[in-house]
Chains A and B, each alone.
Chain A
Amino acid sequence: AQSVTQPDIHITVSEGASLELRCNYSYGATPYLFWYVQSPGQGLQLLLKYFSGDTLVQGIKGFEAEFKRSQSSFNLRKPSVHWSDAAEYFCAVGARNNNDMRFGAGTRLTVKP
């Protein structure tokens, strides 16, 4: 069964600094990978997803993620963080035409002024 690990529970960055959120997955076949953002008391919004093709994926709000099969990773990056990016970020792994999607425990991002 697939699983996802987000090693960092909480990260604090200064506004304007770069950001990288780590995600490692375990899955026997080619995974579908996702990053979601959740603001307090809200549902999840999809930032980006990887199914196949180019391993560098561009998403909304200036985020990107890179799929590295050799490292079983799908880290999320943003070159310059804005205060509005403060939220909880979830990495998820799934499979094609499969209802079983697993979420990581989440990384809470705090942005300092």
Chain B
Amino acid sequence: GAVVSQHPSWVICKSGTSVKIECRSLDFQATTMFWYRQFPKQSLMLMATSNEGSKATYEQGVEKDKFLINHASLTLSTLTVTSAHPEDSSFYICSASPLPAAETQYFGPGTRLLVL
């Protein structure tokens, strides 16, 4: 149980285009979902936290207009990277929690984004 999927697993796009990444909790309802960014050989950086039906809470330094997060249902959250640039290339990982707490989060497999 407690499976979280992400789609796509990898994506290549041109600079200036927008990319949407989906995060789904497959066998539980996710009250809270988290989006992380991971640079090569570095740790995870929390970008934002979203609760179903509410606006996402962004971490300091993360541009909310650049990284649009939607948590429309208890099983789906999306991250849209708008007007992507090469510096947005990264590994994006989502996690989902059945509770409004990070200690019960389950991680997705990640999405590798390459912006050319």
A residues adjacent to B (C-beta < 8 A): 32, 34, 36, 41-46, 49, 51, 90, 94, 96-101, 103-106, 108
Contact = CB atoms under 8 A, between A and B. Distances in A.
A105 B42 contact: yes
With a 10 A CB-CB cut-off, give which of B43, B49, B100 has the most chain A CB atoms: B43
B43 A42 contact: no
Nearest to B105: A101
Interface of B: 4, 6, 32, 34, 41-44, 46, 49, 57, 91, 93, 95, 99-103, 105-110, 112
B109 A99 contact: no
B101 A99 contact: yes
A-B pairs with lowest CB-CB distance, top 5: A101-B102, A43-B107, A44-B107, A43-B109, A103-B43
Contacts of A51: 103
A90 B107 contact: no
Given A36-B107, A98-B101, A104-B43, 19 more contacts: A42-B110, A43-B95, A43-B107, A43-B108, A43-B109, A43-B110, A44-B44, A46-B106, A90-B43, A96-B103, A97-B101, A98-B103, A99-B101, A100-B102, A101-B103, A101-B105, A103-B43, A103-B44, A106-B42
A98 B102 contact: yes
Nearest to B102: A101
A90 B46 CA distance: 14
Given A44-B93, A99-B32, A104-B43, A94 B109 contact: no
B101 A41 contact: no
A96 B93 contact: no
Contact of B107 (A45, A99, A104, A105): A45
A97 B93 contact: no
B110 A105 contact: no
